[in-house]
Amino acid sequence: MGTRALFHHREEEQKEERKHSLEMSSRTRKKRFKTSSREYNLRREADILELEQRGQKRVCFGNDMEKMEEEVMRICRLLRVRADRRALRRKALEHACLEKELLELLSGRAPMFWIPLRAHAVWESMDVTLACTTLGSPVPQATWYKNGIPIDLRRAPAGKYKMGNRFGMLTLHISRCSMEDSAEYSVEVKNQYGEAYSFATVLVRKYYGKESGFDSEIYKRELLQDSDRQELRLQGREASLTVPCAHKEDEGFYSIRVPSLQGDKEQTTYVFVRDAAAATAGAPGSPLNVKCHDVNRDCLILSWVPPSDDGGSPILGYLIERCEAGSEQWLQCSAQPVKSCRCPVLGLAEGQTYQFRVRAVNKAGTSHPSKASDPVTTHDPSRDKRVTVIPYDQGRSIEISKDDLEGDIKIPLPPTNVHASEVREDYVALAWDEPDPRGREPLNYYVEKSLVGSNSWQMVNLDLPANSPRFALFGLAKGKSFRFRVRSVNKFGISEPSVPSPPVTAGAKLAPPPPPSQVLAFRDTKTSVVVQWDKPKDGLEPLGYYIYCRETGTEEWQTVNNKPVTCQQFTVPGLQPGKEYVFCVKSVSEAGLSESSPETDPIVVRPAIACPSAPRGFVLLHCGKTEMTIGWKAPKHKGGTKILGYFLDQHDHSEPDWHEVNTQPIPRRVCTVSSLQEGHLYEFRARAMNRAGVGPVSEPSDLFRCEEWTMPEPGPPHDVRCSEVRDSSLRLHWEAPLYLGAGPVTGYFLELCEEGSEDWKQINKQPIGSTHMKVSELDPGKCYIFRVRAQNKAGVGPPSLPSDPVVPKTKPGTKEIELGVDEEGFIYMAFEAPEKNEDSEFIWSKDYEGPPDPDRVQIEEKGNRSKLILKEPSEKDLGVYSVEVTDVDDDISASCTLTKEDLDKLLKRSHEIRNPLIKLISGWNIDVLDKGEVKLWLQVEKLSPNAELHLIFNDKELTSTPTHKINFVREKGLVELIIQDFCADDKGVYTAQLKDGKAKNQFPLVLLDESFAKVAEEAEAKRRQWKKKQGPHFIENLTWKVLESCEVLLSCKVTKADEGLYKAVVSDNRGEDSTQLELTKGALSATPLKIQPTEEGIKIYTHVKYYTDYMKTTWYHKDKQLQSRDRMRAGSTMNQIWLHILEPREDDKGKYTLELFDGNSSHKLSTDLAGQVFEDALAEHKRLKEAAIAEKRRARVVQGLPDVATIMEDKTLCLTCCVSGDPYPEISWFKNDKVIVFKDRYKMDVKGSMVTITIEKVCNEDTGKYSIYVKNKYGSETGQVTISVYKHGDIPVATEQEIPAGVTTKKAK
């Protein structure tokens, strides 16, 4: 059927063609005859008229007629040819249309949008064009809509809309947009196979221009105006916005827009308003967005938003305060905190203006007050409905109140429609309609309540009648239902009660909202991240969301926004480049904040990967007869990743089409294009490609003529760029020209000019031979551009393409190369680049001539940090080292000059680290002890447990023996040698050799000649004295004294506790006499028994002047002999005899007796441990026991910290101490008496009793006094250490203790 229909269609076409041909030939002939006769008649009439005018008669010759007829026939043939051509063209066109329709019928396709519409935001009075691209067969028909209504050009203002459809590209042009043009626009495309739609929103913003001066605008969602709350300044080329007293309500994105001839320029920043420091530690942040609703004569509804920071404990409620206009006295509205973020306020005066503010309360305290609400005046909201205004007489009016027409109403009618407008956990808000008619007199209302099921009614506001048809009841019983009714009252009386309301039950406690779900974080810029989330699945619509972030490796969450955001996407600004963060989100409602959403995956702050921008700055570097070498500049924006290559196109100016130069990307920015035609003009364009794809095409280059260069001067240098941009200086780099001319390049001249100027100034008077140069003495406030010319023996060549504009000013956060010595003693140079992306590389060079010699240096990279280590430092390594980061949009580079002086300091420091010396605190000391022993000792810095000691005496190593005892206390760094019998054999040289890891040292002591003799003499004297005191001896020598009776008294004093025979002898030349005393009776010197409570029990004891083994002691309790056992322990010392009762009980009361036998007789001492004596002793024992337990269990620093310590910059400080206590104590660290917040470089680790604080990369700011404070319920204790940080190459003070990085410090007891 299809084939037959096709043949039939072709037969019909042939018939139509034949018919059309016949009609065309007939029409042509007819037209030819008419044309020739008419022309002949006209000429004949013209000739006759001319003869008549002359009065002569002329005859027309045959040759004239023949010429005229030939001309006529030529014209006819020409006309016929033209007509045939038109007929053939029309026939071909119709045939082509038929074939096109046939193809479309055979390949029909429903319409689709290849490029859909996109949203636009424009300023008022500007034009906007909406465009999209469609595909479909046959070509679809398009219909435009505005807010769902078709756009009719006939009804729209003239020229308002212009619609276009060209080759599938649909456009809608809207001229001079007004606020009414803000709408949703859509386009419908339809053909016989289907239809498609595309939508876009056009937002028109109102623009307020300036009368004169700087034309700019600052807006936050809407245009900001100068006011008391904010001050706008526009001066010269600067614009500023000042908010004198900022609140959290002022937080948000602020933008400044500057219109210009090239389009609007806009900059946006996010202003974060932080909560003021709480007056009480742990108190919450202040609420915000306090607003008034449903304002009546004496009441209103107040709402607010909870704060983002609860201070670490849940918010218990909110306190409402009010202030009357003109007063600064704030009064509390509620006695108890309200639990939700919405509450009625009663008891207001009609016509009075109020402001309100709110405070949040938790267990730690009360927050700062919120920003005061906007002033609000209480009024009767129904007044406008009851007053009729009649205008008259050009602006005058008459007000007629409905109350004045109801003067006959005396006793008021009851209110109607009593119902609960709001039901909350804390309150129930009632509302009703005023009686109609209400009367002239003012009305008040009394509210009554009744428990459902009861017939008794109770008036609830007898003391405070309501002036408005609104009332709130607080504290209704939970779980019970009530009904309410209202009575109206005026000066004439009270109305009947209204119809009771439906049953009302106090609302259940508002549940916190559920947290958002599907929280995701995406890379945005080098300092921001985009966070997205989904709405909570259940519950009411949240008031907004709070976002929180935390740097990976820390535990402290930071608040991102103190003002809730209502959208489901937020760009988190102000993050540290290269750092890793996680994020979470909380929902906000009247009930408070939700739980935290699940954390996002960790994300590193880096720019999002995108296609690169277009290349720029095309320049001709070399030209032959049929080839050109083209160079260009890299894209300004590389898309956050490495440029993989470029695609170059060429265009012959004499041809319409562009042609590809390469099908594979070119890695370099220089390309030689061959197979060109000499003398032709060519232009070029390029695209850049990275991992995200191929970027947009560049603008075409200038036209370059393909003519072989024969000039003797060199060609232009290329790739002129700036690096190491600092205040007043920078370094310029360029590449040598590709065309050398008549000879090699002998030097370069540099030129500069200010941006916008054409006044080029030469920088160097003499040519320089290198392709780099440092430019100094620049003005940091100006913008410069540079270019370079090459010179050879023939002269100076053309200038290079100018560099990008640059301002010689150090950018904030610029990093420099760090020069120092690491922990292992290697000299290094390090550079950190937080803005580095994943594909960036660190390129090191020496003296700008290429990479350093790999045999002399080693390069290590870790994250955003690169480290160059000198393997064997020497003078060969002196020079300028520079580093540059590739594949970033902004220049990241630095340089460092290693001089001989620097190298010497670093080598010295390296030697100290590789060969460290154990520091001496106190040199050799010699002490002679009481027994005549000689102690030799010295003290060094604290040593590790693995430290070793070798004590050498006269080339022989000593070991610890009873006569030569060696003590080595590593924790204190103490070395002791105690010599029992110091004699001549101990004369010589003592050397203490210490080794602790890599650190070592030795300390000699010479004991010879006079120094030895002096020590030996002192030791011998003290040894004799000690031996003397071991037996009976005189404490005071014999003395004499003449008494009043003229008698001579001889006296001496002996040791009091020495038993023995004492003898006195008197003699002269006449003879002698003697007397003696045998001292054996010590029991007579015993004191009465005493009772002493102790922490173990009760102690009964007596003092004696001396006690010896032959004296026997026996203890009795209630005349029963006691034996020393577990609870009863008897004992004695030289001066005391005691009985210790452990864990005393009631059966321990009674009389205790001590029997002493001195060898001759017995003596008894007794005491009664009973009654109040026992009770007092038992109570004191318990107190001492509890005190001992508390002292044993109290928090303390068992092994503390050194007093003073020093450490070199950029090392890691690790301080360790041991703590004890039961229960385990709370631990806090302080720096200069301020609590240390453990984040970033500060970390604390607790493992059992070991507490360690680690400070990474210490700097000068870390110098100060550090202390650890431990506390439990039994007590507290503090340990302190002073840390001093010195720079690389500096020598620390000798009296301080240096802490190598990573060494744990421990304090000796």
Could you please report the per-residue DSSP string of 123-191? ETT--EEEEEEEEEESPPEEEEEETTEE--TTTSPTTSEEEEEETTEEEEEE-S--GGG-EEEEEEEEE
d(CA 1292, CA 1001) in angstroms, rounded, equals: 18
User: Apex CA 1083: angle with CA 1081 and CA 1087, to 5°?
Assistant: 140
Give how far Cα 1182 sits from Cα of 88, 122, 453, 1188, Å: 130, 86, 64, 10
Residue 1308: band (very low, low, confident or very high) from pLDDT cuts 50, 70, 90: very low
Q: Which 8-state DSSP code applies to residue 666?
A: B
CB 1082 within 8 A of CB 1113: no
Confidence check: pLDDT of 599 > 90: yes
Which secondary structure element, helix H or strand E, spans residue 97, and what is its range?
helix 62-106
d(CA 82, CA 91) in angstroms, rounded, equals: 14
Question: Strand locations in 265-341, DSSP E?
Answer: 265-271, 288-293, 300-305, 317-324, 331-332
Tokens 């023995």 belong to which residue?
Answer: 1060
| pLDDT in the model for residue 1084 | 54
Confidence check: pLDDT of 343 > 70: yes
| Of 839 and 666, more confident | 666
Confidence check: pLDDT of 212 > 80: no
Q: What is the pLDDT of residues 718-752, one digit of tens each?
A: 999 999 999 999 999 999 999 999 989 999 999 99
**Strands of the 729-735 sheet, one edge to the other:** 718-726, 729-735, 772-775
Which amino acid is residue 682, in one-letter code? Answer: Y
Confidence check: pLDDT of 1080 > 60: no
Tokens representing residue 81 in the block: 């040819």
**Strands of the 999-1007 sheet, one edge to the other:** 956-957, 948-953, 988-996, 999-1007
Q: What is the pLDDT of residues 920-979, one digit of tens each?
A: 888 899 998 888 899 999 999 999 999 999 999 988 888 889 889 999 999 989 999 999
For the chain, give the number of residues.
1309
Residue 1134: band (very low, low, confident or very high) from pLDDT cuts 50, 70, 90: low
Which amino acid is residue 260, in one-letter code? Answer: S
Question: DSSP letters along 519-581, please?
Answer: EEEEEEETTEEEEEEEPPSSSSPPSEEEEEEEETT----EES-SS-B-SSEEEE-SPPTT-EE
CB 302 within 8 A of CB 345: yes
Tokens 């909110």 belong to which residue?
Answer: 318
Question: Among 1149, 1164, 1171, 1141, which residue's Cα sits nearest to residue 1088?
Answer: 1164
Which secondary structure element, helix H or strand E, spans residue 1228, and what is its range?
strand 1226-1231
Residue 1: band (very low, low, confident or very high) from pLDDT cuts 50, 70, 90: very low
Q: Determine whether 964 is exposed, middle or buried from the number of CB atoms within 10 Å of its CB (0-12, 13-18, 19+).
A: middle
Residue 2: band (very low, low, confident or very high) from pLDDT cuts 50, 70, 90: very low
CB 1033 within 8 A of CB 1060: no
Task: Give me the mean pLDDT over the 72-80 stretch.
Answer: 84
CB 331 within 8 A of CB 322: yes
Tokens representing residue 113 in the block: 């949008």
| pLDDT in the model for residue 296 | 92
Strands 842-846 and 879-885: antiparallel
Q: Which 8-state DSSP code applies to residue 249?
A: G
Tokens representing residue 423 in the block: 């039901």
Would you call 1188 helix, strand, or coil by DSSP? helix
Range with the poorest average pLDDT among 40-49, 771-780, 887-896: 40-49
d(CA 415, CA 445) in angstroms, rounded, equals: 9
With pLDDT > 70 as the criterion, what percentage of the chain qualifies?
A: 87
Residue 777: band (very low, low, confident or very high) from pLDDT cuts 50, 70, 90: very high
d(CA 406, CA 665) in angstroms, rounded, equals: 92
Range with the poorest average pLDDT among 204-218, 891-905, 1039-1053: 204-218
| pLDDT in the model for residue 650 | 94
Question: DSSP letters along 908-959, please?
Answer: HHHHHHHS-BPPEEEEEEEEE-TTS-EEEEEEES---TT-EEEEEETTEE--
Radius of gyration of the chain (CA): 53
Tokens representing residue 931 in the block: 């027994």
CB burial of 887-919 (b: ≥16 within 10 Å; e: otherwise) equals bbbebbbbbbebeeebbebbbebbeebeebebb
Residue 202: phi and psi, rounded to 5, are -115, 120
| pLDDT in the model for residue 411 | 85
Q: What is the pLDDT of residues 264-291, one digit of tens each?
A: 778 888 888 888 888 888 899 999 999 9
Q: Cβ atoms within 10 A of the Cβ of 57, count?
A: 8
Range with the poorest average pLDDT among 292-306, 390-404, 651-665: 390-404
d(CA 1219, CA 1199) in angstroms, rounded, equals: 7
With pLDDT > 90 as the criterion, what percentage of the chain qualifies?
A: 37
d(CA 613, CA 1120) in angstroms, rounded, equals: 109
d(CA 379, CA 349) in angstroms, rounded, equals: 9
Residue 109: band (very low, low, confident or very high) from pLDDT cuts 50, 70, 90: confident
Q: Cβ atoms within 10 A of the Cβ of 853, count?
A: 11
Range with the poorest average pLDDT among 176-185, 382-391, 1190-1199: 382-391
| pLDDT in the model for residue 225 | 76
Q: Cβ atoms within 10 A of the Cβ of 632, count?
A: 25
pTM: 0.54
Task: Give me the mean pLDDT over the 322-336 stretch.
Answer: 87
Question: DSSP letters along 797-826, please?
Answer: EEEPPPPPPB---PPTT----EEEE-TTS-
| pLDDT in the model for residue 15 | 59
Which amino acid is residue 101, in one-letter code? Answer: E
Strands 252-258 and 238-242: unpaired
Task: Give me the mean pLDDT over the 1100-1111 stretch.
Answer: 70
The average confidence (pLDDT) of the chain is 84
Residue 1158: band (very low, low, confident or very high) from pLDDT cuts 50, 70, 90: low
Confidence check: pLDDT of 480 > 50: yes
Residue 706: band (very low, low, confident or very high) from pLDDT cuts 50, 70, 90: very high
Would you call 224 helix, strand, or coil by DSSP? coil
Cβ within 8 Å of residue 446, ≥6 positions away: 459, 461, 462, 465, 466, 486, 487, 489, 494
Strands 1304-1305 and 1213-1220: parallel
Residue 1262: phi and psi, rounded to 5, are -85, -5
Strands 444-451 and 396-401: unpaired
Range with the poorest average pLDDT among 760-764, 1047-1051, 1137-1141: 1047-1051
Q: What is the pLDDT of residues 511-542, one digit of tens each?
A: 888 999 999 998 888 889 999 999 888 777 88
Q: Which 8-state DSSP code applies to residue 1143?
A: S
Confidence check: pLDDT of 1058 > 70: no
Question: Among 744, 745, 761, which residue's Cα sits nearest to residue 753?
Answer: 761
Q: What is the pLDDT of residues 236-252, one digit of tens each?
A: 677 888 888 888 888 88
Confidence check: pLDDT of 1297 > 50: no
| pLDDT in the model for residue 63 | 67
Residue 184: phi and psi, rounded to 5, are -100, 120
Residue 436: band (very low, low, confident or very high) from pLDDT cuts 50, 70, 90: confident
d(CA 165, CA 187) in angstroms, rounded, equals: 12
| pLDDT in the model for residue 280 | 85
| pLDDT in the model for residue 418 | 93
Question: Strand locations in 670-728, DSSP E?
Answer: 670-673, 681-690, 693-694, 704-705, 718-726
Residue 1241: phi and psi, rounded to 5, are -85, -15
Residue 687: band (very low, low, confident or very high) from pLDDT cuts 50, 70, 90: very high
Q: Which 8-state DSSP code applies to residue 656?
A: S
| pLDDT in the model for residue 33 | 38
Give how far Cα 1119 sits from Cα of 538, 1091, 1111, 1115, 1154, Å: 86, 18, 21, 9, 10
